[in-house]
Structure 1
Amino acid sequence: MDIAVAVPALPGPGATVLGGAAVFAPGGKGANQAVAAARLGGAAGMTIAMLGCVGDDEFGAALRQALRAEGVDDTGVRVAAGVPTGIAMITVDQAGENMITVAPGANRETGAAELDRLAQEPRLPGAPSVLVISAEVPTAVIRAALNQEGRLTVLNLAPAPPAPGAAALLAAHPDWLVVNESEAAAILGRPVSGLTEAATAAADLVQAGARNAVVTAGAAGSAYRATTIEQNQSGGTVAAFPVTAVDTVGAGDTFVGALAVALAAGIGPADAVTAAAAAAATAVTREGTQTGMPRPADVHAATGYRWPLLAP
C-alpha cells in the first residue's frame, strides 16, 4: 500500500517539512508493474497474473481488490497470517520528484508456495511467457525463480541489494535487467549519471551476467545493451519523450510493465525500450501511481507514440 504526501520540497537529513493530506492508494512494485502491464497489454488479449503475499489486514484486501479491478489474476496472491501488508511511504515535491521508503511486511513471506505456483503456471505455445521479478521479495526466491526454465525473465533490481547479492542474481543470467541510475551505481560500485554513463553501465551489467540490460536515467532517457541468440551485442540510447512531469512516482514501474508487454508481443529490444519509455513518460504527466498508469491511447495522446502490434 502506498502512503503519499505532497510537500513543497523534499526534506534533507534531520529536516521536518509540512505536507498535504496523506493519500492511501494501492501500490507495491510488483502490483504496480502488473497493473501497468494489464492496462497496456489487456487490450491485446494478454493475461496478467500476480504472485506474492499480502497481510491479513485491510490493506491486503484493498490491494487484491485493486488488482482484480484492473483485470489482474490475483489467485496467486497469498494472505500471510500474522504479518502486515507491505507499505511504501512516499514524499513528492512540487517538481514531481520523490523519495520512497519501503516496509516490506508480507512481501518477505514470499517463498516456496509461490515458487511451486510459478512452476505450475502454463506456458503458452508460440508466445513468450514473461516473468517480471522485483527486489522486494527475498533474494533466494528471486534466484530460484530465475532458474526456472521456459520463461523470459525481467528482473527489476529495485531496491538494489548490496553488491555481492546483486552479483549472485546476475550470475543467474536474467534475460532482462532493468535498473535506474542509482541502482546501477549500487550494483557496479561507481556513480552513474546521464545517458553516456548509463550506456556504459548497461554494457557492464551484461558483462556481469544479464543477457540484456536497461538503465533508465530519468528525464534524460534510457540506455540499453542487448544480446542476440548468436551472442552478438548491440545497444543504444532512447531520449526521454518531452512531457511536463506532474508526479514521477510509478514511472519506473510503468517502464518495467510496459517493457514486459512489449517483449511478450515479440517486439525487438530497441523498439521495446522505446515503447516502455513512451509509457513511462505518459505516467509522469498524471497524478498517482497506479491511477496514473496509461493505456495505449493515453500514450499516443501524451507522446504521439503508437504502440506497435498492440490494440489501442
Structure 2
Amino acid sequence: MPDAASSSKLGRDLAFVGGGHGQTNASSTTGLLIDLSWMNSTRILHNVTLGDVKLTTAISYQGGAIWKQVTDYTNGTGFTAVGARVGNVGVGGFSTGGGIGSLAGAYGYAIDRLRALEVVLMSGKVVLATKTNQYSDLFWALQGGGGQFGIVTTFYQEAIPEPRSSEFGIWIVARDSWARARQNTVKFFDSNNDPFSLMYYSLGYYPEHLTSGSLTITMVIVGIRFADPHGQSASPLYSHGNRGNGTRPSGYHTKQKTFNETFSDLLDGLVLKKASRYKLPYGQATELSAPFFPYGYRRGFWGP
C-alpha cells in the first residue's frame, strides 16, 4: 500500500493496469504505468465493519486480481461474489465498469453488490468510500465510471451464496439453422423465469480449434444453469430497487427446472455441428469460457 499511495509531482502523467483485459487503451500511456497485478489477494470477511457499513459476510479482493484468483479462493466455501464470465478478466475494470456477470440475473451487477472501496487519490491519500460517508460522491462515480477517479486498491462486495454446481452446454449451430436459432433465442428470453439459468448467442470469429477447424464466421450458443443455492428458483422480475439488498433474489419461487428442461425449446429444430456438455463446481465455471476469449482475440471490437 505505501508504494501505491506515494505521491510525486513527476508522476502525474500515469496510468494503471489491473488484469490487462481492457481494450480501450485506458491503461496505456507514454508515461508511468502502475501495475497492480501483485496486489491480488482475496478474503472472506465475517461480521465486518467498513467505515459506516456493517456486513455479515463480505468478499474483499484487491485491484490487481483477476477473477480466476477470486473464484479459486472462494470455491467450495459457500460464498462468492458477482464476477466476470471469463476468469482472465481483471477485477478492477470489471467492478468499476458495471460488472455484468453470470449471476447478474439473480443478484444484480457487481456495482450493485459493492459496499465499500479503498481508493488511492491523486494526492496520495488513501480513503474508504461508501454510499453514505463523506466520499459518497467518489463511491457513486466508481460504480460504472471506470478508473478515472483514483486507484481502487481493495473492493468489498456483500457476499452471495455460492451455487452448488454449474452445467454448461456449448453448441455450434449449422449455417442452415441460424435463422431458427435467432427465433429460439428470442423465445428463450421471453419465457425463461429462472435467474440462475441463462444463455449467450454469438456470431463471429473464434479460435479455429474450438469450432470447425477453420477461421470462419461461426454461430455459438452457450446455455448455463447454476444450481440454485437456495434450493429453489426465483422469478427474473428482480426490481432495480431490490437489487443488492440481502442475499436472496426477490420474486415468486418454484422448483428449478433441469438443464434439459430449461434449454429444450432453445435447441428445438436446430442442426448442430458440434455439441459439448459439462458439469463442474461454480468456482471453475469461468475456465470453460477462457479458450473462446484469449487475450487480444476480440480486438476487432475497437480496431487496430
> Which structure shows the bigger proportion of residues in helix conformation?
1
Query: TM (normalized to structure 1)?
Result: 0.24
| Structure of larger gyration radius | 2
